[in-house]
Amino acid sequence: MKRIQTLTVILQLGLLIAGLTAFWIPEGVHFLANDTQLGQIIHQEQWLQHVNTGVQEINRSYPFIWYGTDWMVFAHILFALLFYGLYANPIRNKWLVQFGFMACALIVPLAAIMGYIRRIPLIWQTLDCLFGVVAAIILYQIHRSIKKLENTNPVKNNVAL
């Protein structure tokens, strides 16, 4: 049970961190483009500068655009709260693992389709997909732990809570 709870908290923190960073897109993109070596490391310096220029222009001229990303943050917070069900009662709420697996799987076509439409370089689409891969690994570990928990006390698991 402790392993499930620990992994669930890691999953929830990942969702919160990934979501909350969207509140600071202009500052974060400026930092990545100008204060790190990320562009050099992945050979994307020009792209990062291009993105930074666009983001800063939007921030100066059309800051209301970020309201859409504020709602994305809200969705991440809701998903983190949703997964509390695994923390509180993993057997009863094991359906959340399947929900999480489906969400992780859907990241790939979304990144591929919208990345292509938005002309996002493949390296960035791949990095986005890695969030789903990492979450799926955590969910798989939770799934295995729930199966073990179910097998240790099958009678207790059939009691409605």
Mind listing the pLDDT tens digit for each residue in 88-116?
A: 999 999 999 999 999 999 999 999 999 99
Cβ contacts of 114 within 8 Å, gap of 6 or more: 120
C-alpha to C-alpha distance for 18 and 80, rounded to whole angstroms: 11
> What's the whole-model pTM score?
0.82
**pLDDT tier, 154 (very low <50, low <70, confident <90, very high otherwise):** low
pLDDT higher than 60, residue 2? yes
User: How does pLDDT run across 36-47, given as a tens digit for each residue?
Assistant: 888 788 888 999
Round to whole Å and give the CA distance between 100 and 116.
25
Domain spans, the chain: 2-152
Q: Minimal CA–CA distance to 146: which of 107, 105, 138?
A: 138
Query: Which of 87, 94, 79, 72 shows the shortest CA–CA distance to 140?
Result: 94
pLDDT band per the 50, 70, 90 thresholds, residue 161: very low
Model confidence at 152, pLDDT cuts 50, 70, 90, reads confident
Work out the pLDDT band at 155, boundaries 50, 70, 90.
low
Whether the pLDDT of residue 70 is over 70: the answer is yes
User: What are the C-alpha distances in Å from 127 to residues 1, 38, 59, 86, 150?
Assistant: 31, 12, 24, 27, 35
Q: Look over the chain and give the mean of its residue pLDDT values, rounded to a whole number.
A: 92
Q: How confident is the model at residue 57 (pLDDT cuts 50, 70, 90)?
A: very high
Q: What is the pLDDT of residue 40?
A: 80
Please give the pLDDT value at position 41. 81
Cβ–Cβ under 8 Å, residues 81 and 93: no
Say how many C-beta atoms besides its own lie within 10 A of residue 153's C-beta. 11
